[in-house]
Structures are given as C-alpha cells and as structure tokens.
Structure 1
C-alpha cells in the first residue's frame, strides 16, 4: 500500500480513522480545560503539568500485571474500555467547585480502565491492514492525531474565551461517547489469543522478554525517553504563554507533527527510512534550545512547529517493533510501548514542572531539550541491533 486512498478504501480502517479523530479532539479539549482550571486554582506549574500529562503514570500498575489482556480479549471490546472511561471522567470534571485533588482522582479513571488494554487499538490496526500498509496506516492515524490536536487545542483556546471550563468538559465527554459508538457498531470483533498461562504470568513473561532483549529494549527507550523529555517542554506551554497563548503553541506543535508524519509516511522511500531515525530525533530537541532566550510568541510558535516534525521518527521505530515482535504478543508489545510512552511523557512533564519552579518555564524547556539530545546520542549504538538487514529479513530476538 502506497497511497492514502488505498488504506482509506478499507471500511474498518475508515472507522479507526474516525475514532482516532474524535478521540483526539475530545482529549485535546478536555486536557486544555483541565490544565486551565488547575493553573487558575493552584498557580502551580507542577500541578498544571501533571493535570495535563501525569495521568499515564497510573498505567504502570496495569502494565505490570494485566497488560496481556490486549491479546487475550477481543480487540474491539478491549478498545472501547478507555473511551468509555474518558467520557465518564470528562462529564464528572464538568461538576462545579471540585477540588484539584478530586479532579486528579477523576483523571485517574480512564488510565486505570485502559491500563490492561492499551495495545488493543494497534492490534486492531495491524489485523485490518496488510503487512506492507503498516507505516502508511500508522502515519494516517497520526495525521488524525495532528489535525485533531490542532483543531482541538485551537478550538479549546477559543472556547475558553467565550465559555466556561465546565462547558469544555461537557463537549469533551459527549465527543468521546461518539468514539465509543463508532467502535461498537463499525468494527467486527476478532478472537483473542488463547494461552494456557494465566493473565499475570503471561504479562510478566512477555514484559520480561521484551524489555530484556538487547534488540527490543533500545527501541523502547528510543521511543520513550527523547519524546517524554520534549513533552515536558510542551507541558510548560501554559505557564510560559498563558491560557490562550498555550492553545496556539499546542496547535503549532500538532501541525509540525502532522507535517512530519505526512512526509515520512507517504513520501519517504522505505530504503531511506531508517537512516533518518537519528536526525529526526535530533530535530525534535534542537529548536527548544531557543527557549533559553525566552523567544517572543511568533518565534516560540516556529520553534515548536519545527521541533515537532521530529516526532515522525516514532513511525520508523514502531515499524522496527512490528518486525521484531511475535504475532501472539503484538498487542502487549504495543501496549508496553504505549504505556512507556505515556509514562515517559508524564515523567517529562513532572521534571519540567519542577525545573520551571526553580528556573522558570523558558530555562526549563531549554534544559529538557539538552537532556533529550543527550539521550538520543546515548541510545544510538543500541539501535543498530534492530536496524533492518540489507535484504530486509526479519531480525530475531
């Protein structure tokens, strides 16, 4: 598969695309609303960053114990669990006069509910698409993420001018309910993977194999660490630029991510893909060094846009993950990636909030960029083990 028309010609993939669009719009609007109300009530960069990006820390418990449910359950059923919890959580956040502690407890709901099934959506996509359509299909879903983050954060910033925060939460909750309906009625169910091992044992054994392998471990770290540190920069947009300015910064970074995914997924020849993993990871961090100088809004927008093009390196690393993981544990492999990515983002946001408390948002963003560059350089030797062989044969663990 080489064109968007080919992947979107598949009816079930069109449903996945719709679900991704609706889900990201809801999460963007709800996240901006939560960040705005937390900063308004606490004035704390740390709590604001945690409110927007800290929820994934909760998924660590499920990933360590029941993540193999991503393979054991039917993927359609598993994929609806987190959207249902998100819808309920956003509607609860709309209640007036909630303390920030209670808001954080509600924030935990979708992450607790989805911690066992975070790889199911990617498993669905892998089963719907033919093998040669993975990168383009993943890029197409990332386009949905980029477009709807631009729309969601931009619309959320405008809505915050005219509407209350509670209204934004209601919009987000209703939008997420649409995603649940599309999954339930737009996809056929597929069987889970049978196993004679218990859920806890299977989860433990697969996690140990994936994280213990000298081939897959560097891929995971390269997917988690540089990204998470740069998300720490994004978590400081509200303290750096204020509520309305942060919406534009989030929209600019989402647009940059969209451009990178389009170029890498649609136009970059397969033979050149792996050569760009390192350069794209460097691009992800370099523009944020400019924040050491506290740039004005226009320059800040440009820096965020250019840097986010580097997120497209994740497409290439996910392609490696498909190649080096087995079909019986692919849901868990991607669930582990998803959990680690979100946890890395949460850790990055926490570090960013702490640094901003001591140094201010601008210097904190520059420091996180330096750390991201260092991690990219340190991980380069280990990534050579998962690089495709000259004849593109599968690499064994």
Structure 2
C-alpha cells in the first residue's frame, strides 16, 4: 500500500527542478501523458507482477514531479494570503476524490475483472489529461531556466543547508509519518473495524482542513500550529488502555484533524522560499511527506513485530509527541527568522 510512496523521493532528488520551469502547462500535460501510459499498461493481461510494481514506482516518480509543478503554479496564481485556503481546498478535494475512488474501485471489482477496472482508470486518466490540456494556461513569472539534475541538487543543497527550512520540513514529515504508521496498524489492531477507523481518520482530516484553512486567520493558524501537531498524535495514547470502539473512533477522528498542522507550516516554508524555486521546494516537501508516511508504516510494522498492536500504536504515537515537543524551539526560531526576513524585504 505504501511502497510506491518511496518513489516520490527519487523525483525530489533528481528532476524536481522541472516544477519551476517556464512552461508549467506543458510540463503537466507531459506528466499526465506518462501517467496515462502507466495506467493503461496495467490493463495488459498477463503482465508480470514485478512489472506491475515497477509501473507503480514509475508512476510515483512522475506524480511527485506533477505535485511540485502544481504547487508552484498554485503559489503564483493565488496571493500569498490566499495560499493556505487554496491549499486547504486542494486537500479537501483530493481527499474526497481519493475516498470516492477507493469506494468506486471496490464496487467495480464486484462486477468487472481487474483488467477492466484498469481500463476504466485509464479512461478517467485520459479525461484528466483533456481537462489539463484545455483548462490550464501557461502562467509563470519565473525566469526561464534549464531544469535538470544539477539544478535540482543545487537547490536541494541550499534548502537543507538552511536550519529554518530543515526544522520546518522535518516537522512536516516526521510527526505526520509516524501517525500514518499508527493508522497502518488498524488492520492488526481491529481487523473487523479497520475500515471504520480509517474512515474516521479521513473525516477528521477533511474537517481539520476545512476549519484551519478556511475559517482561521493566518495569525490564528500560526498560533495553532504547535497544538495541532500535538493533536495529531496525543489521541492515540488512549490505545494503551484498549478503549472500546466508540472511544477509539473518536480518538482517531480528533487525531485526523491534527493533520491540518501542515497548513501553517507550509505557509512558513513558502514565505521563506525564493520565488524562483517555490515549485521545487513544495515538491520536495510533498515527496518527503509521502516518503515518511511509508517509513512510518514500516517503523510501526517493525514495532508491532515486538509488541502487541495496541502497545505499538501507543509507542509510535509517543515518539511523534516527543519529536514535536523537542523540535518546538527550532520551529519557533524558523518562524522568527521568516518574519524578520519579511520585515527587511518590505519597502521603507
């Protein structure tokens, strides 16, 4: 389930500079064509299992580049004050679409063969390509540059050399990934109720994005960042007491709302990023977050090999809380540095 997420880091380390090219529409069309080819290839009968996993990795690679390009374009077409509400809307839309897609895929498998379902997926991907080609316009004020491996590495070196950026990225990745690891243990913890627990987590995420992104001001989002990061993991500590199902569902729902902590941290990261590399930096952030979700699932699985599922969930959640508390001063320092830089950049 999480294997393809590791391919996203390859995009971040190699060709993510394409996200800041001068022709974002063309980039998105090419990447969507690659996605269409990959999904259509999955529909081939008799395709070896190794080839299917290889296609998943390739699709994850291209998906990471597409995410960076979209995020860079988003940062250009909306004012900076509107970034968090726009990102929140994208999260809600993507989350809802994913839930509907899983449900539709499960329903289709009751009436169609897997190959036929892949054909349906290819048709939907082709429709997405048509939408991108006909509705997205070239919109870039970034200076044209030649993307490639060298440019990607140079930008990444500058990004990780900055202590504030490192603190923000790690807080966007590690607590989030560890809590996804807790979710990955639902099937071991309560096989008959795993679907309900995952649904509760998804509902909490949607509510959190709605409230934090659409209803809170930027100042309130900033103040809520640390409590939200705690909210992400603290509810899982109740699993140490083997709670009844309603309590477990409530805890998972509340935790899901804590994922909205990414919004104020992403705002800070964007504010500290030069305009010319906003797409790549956001692409690196997204790819790292996806990769850490896979790592979190792997870590949680390893812990569950030593402890009972409930104890493993509690231990992984406690690690997330500990990381959040320990790194709070670093995030606060990054926020102060970003504010100071914004003040210096204002005209007198």
Q: TM-score, normalised by structure 2?
A: 0.86
1:166-315 superposed matches below 5 A: 166=115, 168-191=117-140, 193-194=142-143, 199-242=148-191, 245-315=193-263
Note the C-alpha offset of 1:71.
Answer: 0.7
3-state secondary structure, aligned to 1:394: helix
1:350-361 superposed matches below 5 A: 350-361=298-309
3-state secondary structure, aligned to 2:16: coil
Note the C-alpha offset of 1:153.
Answer: 3.9
Q: Tell me if the contact between 1:75 and 1:120 (Cα under 8 Å) persists in the aligned partners.
A: yes
Note the C-alpha offset of 1:218.
Answer: 0.5
- 2:315 aligns with 367
What is the Cα-based RMSD across aligned positions, in Å? 3.0
| CA distance 1:246–1:301, shift in 2 (3 Å) | same
In the comparison of the two structures, how many residue pairs are matched? 345
What are the Cα deviations for residues 341-375 of structure 1, in whole angstroms up to 9, with x where unaligned? 11111111221232334435433322221111111
Q: TM-score, normalised by structure 1?
A: 0.77
Are 1:321 and 2:269 an aligned pair? yes
Mapped partners of 2:145, 2:27: distance in 1: 20
Q: Tell me if the contact between 1:154 and 1:247 (Cα under 8 Å) persists in the aligned partners.
A: no
Note the C-alpha offset of 1:176.
Answer: 3.0
Q: Tell me if the contact between 2:304 and 2:312 (Cα under 8 Å) persists in the aligned partners.
A: yes
What are the Cα deviations for residues 172-228 of structure 1, in whole angstroms up to 9, with x where unaligned? 443333322211111112358446676222212211111110121101111111111
- 1:124 aligns with 73
Runs of at least 5 residues in structure 1 that lack an aligned partner in the other structure: 1-51
Range moving further from structure 2, 97-106 or 135-144: 97-106
Mapped partners of 1:240, 1:100: distance in 2: 29
Note the C-alpha offset of 1:94.
Answer: 4.8
Runs of at least 5 residues in structure 2 that lack an aligned partner in the other structure: none
Mapped partners of 1:168, 1:249: distance in 2: 26
| CA distance 1:100–1:247, shift in 2 (3 Å) | farther
| CA distance 1:384–1:141, shift in 2 (3 Å) | same
